Amino acid sequence: MIKGIIFDLDGVLVSTDELHYQAWKKLAMDLGIMGFTKEDNARQKGVSRMDSLEIVLEKGNKRYSDEEKLTFADQKNNFYIELLQRLTDDAVLAGVKETLIMLRKKGLLIGIGSVSKNTPLILEKTGLKSYIDQISCGLDISKSKPDPEVFLVAAKKLGLLPVQCLVIEDSKAGIIAAKAANMRSLGVGPEYEQLGADYKYKNLQCEIDWDSILNS
């Protein structure tokens, strides 16, 4: 029986992909890397900031020290935070608020499991904070998805066992992490059919058979 739902943030609750893309693209251009595309950006889904940076740098032909890489990641994050200042509840994806309200009415606990260190800012800006019971994010963990740490921390904060949690994700790394955490998973987003999730729905606006999922 499922007692808590752990939501990924980027691409599941809010639409931030374009902002991540713009910030990485600006960094790439500043470094003289011209070939960074939206397809490369799609590979950054669910991937930590430093691993995402490697996806940008592999499009160029220079090698950088760890110190330089940290500076580049900070640069990207500064652009990204500038863009996040303009975020409003318009960025909340279709069906999200209704789903959160409905699940809470059913007595479920709601958690966030996101590797983004900007999770608190995004929840604040979009007004989603009041719908969430516990947050597990990049600030709480040392290993990024596909490691299960972020979901295990979320379950612990919610006071639940992993088997009592359902993860909702839009990335392959996230579904692998959910399985490694011994949690069931529901995949959404443009690649929902290819993620390997236990339950597959295009988005949270779909007619989801919650009763059978929650009682399974």
Which is nearer to Mg ion, 8 or 56 (by Cβ)? 8
Tokens 């943030």 -> residue:
9
Q: Is 185 annotated as a binding residue?
A: no
Helix (H) / strand (E) containing 169? strand 165-169
Of 108, 135, 112, the C-alpha closest to 213 is 108
Q: Is 10 annotated as a binding residue?
A: yes
Residues found near ligand BG6 in the complex (CB under 6 A): 9-10, 20, 44-49, 52, 77, 114-118, 138
Which positions ≥6 away from 42 have C-beta within 8 Å? none
Which is nearer to Mg ion, 11 or 111 (by Cβ)? 11
Q: Which does 126 bind (CB under 5 to 8 A by kind): Mg ion, ligand BG6, none?
A: none
Task: Judge whether 10 counts as a catalytic residue.
Answer: yes
β-bridge mates for residue 187, sequence order: 169, 200
Q: Least Å distance between CB 107 and ligand BG6?
A: 28
Which is nearer to ligand BG6, 144 or 210 (by Cβ)? 144
Task: Judge whether 140 counts as a catalytic residue.
Answer: no
Q: Least Å distance between CB 190 and Mg ion?
A: 11
Q: Which does 134 bind (CB under 5 to 8 A by kind): ligand BG6, Mg ion, none?
A: none
Catalytic residues: 8, 10
